[in-house]
Amino acid sequence: MQQNVRDTIRIDTRSLAIFRILLGLLVVADILLRSRNFWYFYSGEGVVPQSLALDAGRENAFSFYFFVDDPTLIAGLFVLQVLFAIQLIFGYKTRIATIISFLFVVSLDHHNPFVTSYADILFRLLFFWAIFLPLGERWSIDAVHRDRSPRSSFAGIAALFAMGQMVWMYLVNWFHKSQDSLWTSGEATPLIMGLDDMTFLLAGTVREFPTLLEYGGLLWYYMLLVSPLLILLVGRTRYPLILLFFGGHAMFALTVRIGAFAYVAFAGLVLFLQPQFWSDTTALSRRVGMRTEPFETVRDRCIQLAERVPKRQPQHPSLPALKQYTYSAALGIVIGSIVIYTVFTVVPMGVVGEQVSPEDRIEENARALSIDQPEWSVFAPTPRTTDRYYVFAAETADGALIDVYNDGRELTSERPYDELQNQYGTYRERFYMNSIRRSGMQDRDDSAAVLAAYTCELWAEEHDTELTQLTMYTITESITRETISDPANRESRSWVMFEYSCTDEPPERIALPD
């Protein structure tokens, strides 16, 4: 029985090496992509000053970026994060690189909480569990420096939590989806593919086949339901389900502009590849006659280069045992905290002495590092069936009415683009505008006011005239089965997000033309 349980959570150390490399590459890619909007989103002199991030973010949130406010130093932290990610990729002092990279990932998300998504949340959580995994066991500088042969697999409790993170996300998301008939009937997926503001690439093609999309949506729905089989099945019996999840996320990557979610999920799914997969891959390569000499040459060259990297200083004989004890104690504290937090959130208030409240302390620490579990309500329970775009109606000092959000075009409520996702320079701008919309309509923070002031100042700097009034609109289009590919016949509505005066005069609403 115990052996069977261990087999279900066993991870091949080559899979852990791939997981480590993917984590590092995702950090590098994320920094490069975020750098496109560095001045606008991250410099502290754009639309998210540090005071706003602190006010809108979580209480006691941790971030390296909160200790600096100069754009040059902030850029330096970007570079430093990339360097630690590269260290992680090569597996040099892997545990240290993992911990520091995790803290940088958390820090950057807290530096600008307005542009984060479920991809960032999943990435943080997988990174957290990675701290407790032997990521440097294979294909790393640490492995070359180590005085013993690498373990072939790992089956500790940390493996269960890392794989369980993916399964928990899938299963909770299934539960939310099960609450709405659009998902249980299969109608949700075709409607989602009609969202021009977040679909791209192949979406325009696949939306022409709504019946196939319905079947695909139902398949995904039931895949989420049976996702625990990713752990319960062992060896080759996992292959079909893993392949289906890889295929599902690949389809998302090619149709829905939701950031790195698909690629983060790819990294998480690698953890489910057990030793049998690598044995089968080796056997298949031999059967098809694939030459291994080039790979062996590259491997030998990498080993030679790794041997040139300075090794750690000789350790005291008792140090390895102390490190193992520290690791076990840290993992025990984390697991114990999760158990206690779960129990205390179920036990009614007052059963345990109110002066202790350990659940509050655990939750506070988890929230400070953003490692608490979200709702995982991706496209659920009710999927969004309204397209969305923005119009910033502005009046200039000489009386002209323009739309400053869409390149200063003449004011109109018409679509700025046929493909609405082109309204956003980057995918994070869409997340940001969602935050602005919620802020303006719910008065949650000052982000809408900061954006309005920034827009007025930037326009004055780049043009010969100043703005006097600004009214931010959200315009929605209702999507039905008949109008998935026919936006011209959709019913549209406009909503005022925020009103702002660029002068000392009171704000005055600028009406949209009929």
Which residues are bridge partners to 389 per DSSP? Answer: 475
C-beta of residue 415 within 8 angstroms of C-beta of residue 496: no
Q: Which DSSP string do the residues of 61-95 spell out, in sequence order? A: ---GGGG---HHHHHHHHHHHHHHHHHHHHTSSHH
Cα 12 to the chain's mean position, in Å?
Answer: 25
How does pLDDT run across 113-151, given as a tens digit for each residue? 999 999 999 999 999 999 999 999 999 999 999 988 899
Residue-level pLDDT at 347: 41
3-state secondary structure string across 345-357: HHCCCCCCCCCCC
Among 178-182, 279-283, 306-310, 422-426, which is the least confidently predicted range?
306-310
- Burial tier of 291 (Cβ tally within 10 Å: 0-12, 13-18, 19+): exposed
CA-to-CA separations, 469 to 396, 404, 505, in angstroms, rounded = 7, 11, 9
Work out the angle at residue 236's Cα, subtended by the Cα atoms of residues 232 and 241, and round it to the nearest 5 degrees.
60
95 or 4, higher pLDDT: 95
Residue 190 dihedral angles phi and psi, to the nearest 5°: -60, -40
State the average pLDDT over residues 367-380. 92
Residue-level pLDDT at 368: 84
Q: Which DSSP string do the residues of 258-302 spell out, in sequence order? A: -TTHHHHHHHHHHTT--HHHHHHHHHHHHHTT---HHHHHHHHHH
Instruction: Tell me the pLDDT of the chain averaged across its residues.
Output: 91
Amino acid code (one letter) for 433? M
506 cis-preceded (ω within 30 degrees of 0):
no
Work out the angle at residue 93's Cα, subtended by the Cα atoms of residues 92 and 97, and round it to the nearest 5 degrees.
90
CA-to-CA separations, 35 to 54, 60, 105, in angstroms, rounded = 21, 26, 15
C-beta of residue 223 within 8 angstroms of C-beta of residue 245: yes
Residue 396 to residue 288: CA distance in whole angstroms: 69
pLDDT over threshold 60, residue 216: yes
- Burial tier of 300 (Cβ tally within 10 Å: 0-12, 13-18, 19+): exposed
How does pLDDT run across 309-344, given as a tens digit for each residue? 988 665 556 666 666 666 556 556 655 554 454 444
C-beta of residue 249 within 8 angstroms of C-beta of residue 126: no
User: β-pairing, 153-154 with 11-12?
Assistant: antiparallel
How does pLDDT run across 439-471, given as a tens digit for each residue? 988 888 999 999 999 999 999 999 989 999 999
Residue-level pLDDT at 296: 79
358 pLDDT band, cuts 50/70/90, is low
Residue-level pLDDT at 396: 97
Provide the sign of the torsion angle of the four alpha carbons 21, 27, 33, 35, taken in this order: negative
Among 3-17, 236-250, 253-267, 360-374, which is the least confidently predicted range?
360-374
Residue 216: which H helix or E strand, with range? Answer: helix 210-225
C-beta of residue 108 within 8 angstroms of C-beta of residue 120: no
Sequence spans of domains, the chain: 2-293+302-308, 323-368, 386-501
Residue 332: which H helix or E strand, with range? Answer: helix 319-346
How does pLDDT run across 73-91, given as a tens digit for each residue? 999 999 999 999 999 999 9
C-beta of residue 497 within 8 angstroms of C-beta of residue 473: yes
Residue 335 to residue 157: CA distance in whole angstroms: 9
294 pLDDT band, cuts 50/70/90, is confident
101 or 340, higher pLDDT: 101
Which residues are bridge partners to 476 per DSSP? Answer: 388, 493
Residue reference for tokens 């309005």: 452
C-beta of residue 26 within 8 angstroms of C-beta of residue 263: yes
Which residues are bridge partners to 478 per DSSP? Answer: 386
Cβ within 8 Å of residue 5, ≥6 positions away = none
Residue-level pLDDT at 343: 42
367 pLDDT band, cuts 50/70/90, is confident
Residue 89 to residue 127: CA distance in whole angstroms: 13
Residue-level pLDDT at 248: 98
Which residues are bridge partners to 153 per DSSP? Answer: 12
42 pLDDT band, cuts 50/70/90, is very high
Residue-level pLDDT at 148: 86
CA nearest to 220, candidates 261, 212, 195, 164: 212
Residue 184: which H helix or E strand, with range? Answer: helix 181-184
Residues in the chain, overall count: 514
Among 208-222, 362-376, 422-436, 477-491, which is the least confidently predicted range?
362-376
Which residues are bridge partners to 391 per DSSP? Answer: 473
